[in-house]
Homo-oligomer: A and B are copies of this chain.
Amino acid sequence: MLSKNKIKFINRLKQKKFRSETGLFIMEGDKLVSELLSNRKESIVQLVATTGWLRANQHLLHRGIKEITEVSEPFFSKITSFESPTGVLAVLSIPQFSFHENDLKKQLSIGLDTIQDPGNLGTIIRIADWFGINTIFCSHGCADCFNPKAVQASMGSVLRVPLFYVNLETLLDKMSFFDDYIVYGSFIEGPSIYNSKLSNTGMLIFGNESRGIQDSIKKYIRFSLSIPSFSRQKNHAESLNVSAAVAVFCSEFMRRGL
């Protein structure tokens, strides 16, 4: 059974500070946890599930899970982040990645400047995973990628895509010493991405949901790109959602390399 202390422990993992202290985070939901049990069993520190979920998923549980805690549904409702809980969550170790500036020159990366909504961040990680983007750099002002909403929106991609919280300016400043390292920025106006020359290496920068890319970052951008609006209406949407812009940018950059 889940003691009061354990309920408290799991609920505290919803806070960034406690995740940093423990190096742990939560992944919740039947689909995500079932995938984990099939492909990444070793990363599970603790599995918490209702009696009903455990009974229905015995085939996934044979070996190698460090700790399984069976709880009643009312207990599970005290730890879930879901409105309609599916009866299972896993406590996982935060994955450790590393990068070398020299490697960055050979790949396409994403740089995120103060993306505040964890759902947007998670969706961007999932898009990067699909399009084979190797690295994401987040400014310190971005949401935490191990926030339960970000983990959920990433659909598990947060375990696969190397993501680093960095001082974006410092990193871009370092990279600016490489002449052939191109930094692109996503803007609402400017040269159309469809008519611009695109490289298959460099960094694509996306800015905050309402304020866009800040000036201190802008100065490192060699090419400003926009996704033109095709609307003929006078008052159309002011902008695309940032994750939709990331999807279009990744599609356009990767397609050109085909």
A residues whose Cβ falls under 8 Å from a Cβ of B? 31, 39, 119, 123, 126-127, 129-132, 153, 155-157, 160, 194, 210, 227, 229-233, 235-241, 243-248, 251-252, 254-255, 258
Contacts and interface: CB of A to CB of B under 8 A. Distances in A.
A131 B247 contact: no
A194 to B, nearest CB: 5
- State the oligomeric state as a number of copies: 2
Contacts of A254: 230
Contacts of A153: 241
Contacts of A245: 247
A254 to B, nearest CB: 5
Nearest to A253: B230
B123 A241 contact: yes
B233 A160 contact: yes
17 contacts: A31-B210, A123-B243, A126-B240, A129-B233, A130-B237, A130-B239, A131-B229, A131-B230, A132-B230, A132-B236, A153-B241, A155-B237, A155-B241, A157-B237, A194-B255, A243-B244, A251-B252
A64 B248 CA distance: 40
A201 to B, nearest CB: 14
Contacts of A233: 129, 132, 160
Contacts of A132: 229-233, 236
Given A254-B230, A258-B194, A126 B247 contact: no
A150 B258 CA distance: 36
Contacts of A127: 240-241, 244
Given A131-B231, A132-B232, A229-B130, A247 B240 contact: yes
A252 B256 CA distance: 12
Minimum-distance CB pairs A-B, first 4: A132-B230, A132-B231, A244-B247, A129-B237
Q: Considering residues A39, A123, A132, A244, which has the most beta carbons from chain B within 10 angstroms of its beta carbon?
A: A244
A218 B101 CA distance: 47
